[in-house]
Amino acid sequence: MSGQTPDNIHLELVDTHAHVSFPQFDHDRDRIKAQLESGELSMLIEVGTTVEDSLRAMEVFKGVKNVLLSVGVHPHESDGLDDRGLETLKSLLKDRQVVAVGEIGLDFYRDLSPREVQKSVFLKQLEIAFSFSLPVVVHVRDAYEEVYEILRRFKGLKGVIHAFSGGPAMAGRFLELGYYLGIGGPITYRKNDGLREIVRLTPIEKLISETDCPYLPPVPFRGKRNEPLYVRYVVEEIARQKEMDIYTCSKQLMYNAKELFTPDL
């Protein structure tokens, strides 16, 4: 174990945003499953980005302890979603392991699907989440204003703004709507004082821990593949910013994840 924490303290490590069914994990996915079965990782939410990989994620993690699933179509992939795809998504939501719709949203930075298509696909999936009373996992890049204006129309819908990268004013507006902020590896980046400030300003009850693995590895793993257990470095930094001990912080983050994703359990 690293950091200042004694080995004998059990941390509740929760990664609410992972893509372990991606090919980058083909050679060692079993090791990650074993960490989940043993409780070394307390909870993982595997997040789909297309209908196909949502289906693959369900296959890969069927029955694996401590794993929940979110299914949905990423804004980059919006262009490929037809009515049949939407029907398939709806049918997946009936599975007991599926607890959320995502990742969905708008990405006007990379613009890999036309903006109008992204908006329409985002709306359709929000309607589905709303009708199933499920939380949403929202991806936003260069479209905070647009996403905010859309989400505020869905009163009562809950969710997380994954990999939050907006400013304090925008953070405040999403918190006011009842959304959580998803915090991952970028909080450890030297130049990211802005995100550390957001974390200090946000009540700990509204933060959600995540990795987005295989992407966004924390320090000291930059340039390498990220993986769920590295969420520990995120939790350590959140604890530092909130001036909490890491054990209490990890428990609170676990509680938050349960509140959002499994309120009935």
User: Which residues of this protein are in contact with Zn ion, per CB under 5 A?
Assistant: 212
Question: 159 CB contacts (<8 Å, ≥6 apart)?
Answer: 100, 102, 129, 135, 136, 137, 138, 151, 179, 180, 260
Residue among 85 and 184 whose Cβ is closer to Zn ion: 184
Residue among 212 and 237 whose Cβ is closer to Zn ion: 212
CA gap 168, 198 in Å, rounded: 6
Minimum Å distance from CB 62 to Zn ion? 21
CA gap 53, 59 in Å, rounded: 10
Residue among 52 and 197 whose Cβ is closer to Zn ion: 52
Residue among 211 and 252 whose Cβ is closer to Zn ion: 211
Minimum Å distance from CB 54 to Zn ion? 12
Using CB positions, name the residue nearest to Zn ion: 212
Residue among 18 and 246 whose Cβ is closer to Zn ion: 18
Residue among 15 and 212 whose Cβ is closer to Zn ion: 212
CA gap 117, 176 in Å, rounded: 28
Minimum Å distance from CB 133 to Zn ion? 23
Residue among 77 and 212 whose Cβ is closer to Zn ion: 212
Minimum Å distance from CB 4 to Zn ion? 30
Strands in 207-209's sheet, in edge-to-edge order, are 14-18, 43-47, 67-71, 98-107, 136-141, 159-162, 180-183, 207-209
Closest CA to 225 of 76, 46, 29: 29
At residue 70's C-alpha, the angle toward residues 69 and 75, to 5°, is 150
Minimum Å distance from CB 17 to Zn ion? 6
CA gap 117, 39 in Å, rounded: 41
CA gap 87, 206 in Å, rounded: 32
Minimum Å distance from CB 119 to Zn ion? 19
Minimum Å distance from CB 112 to Zn ion? 14
Closest CA to 218 of 66, 64, 3, 53: 3
Beta bridge partners of 45: 68
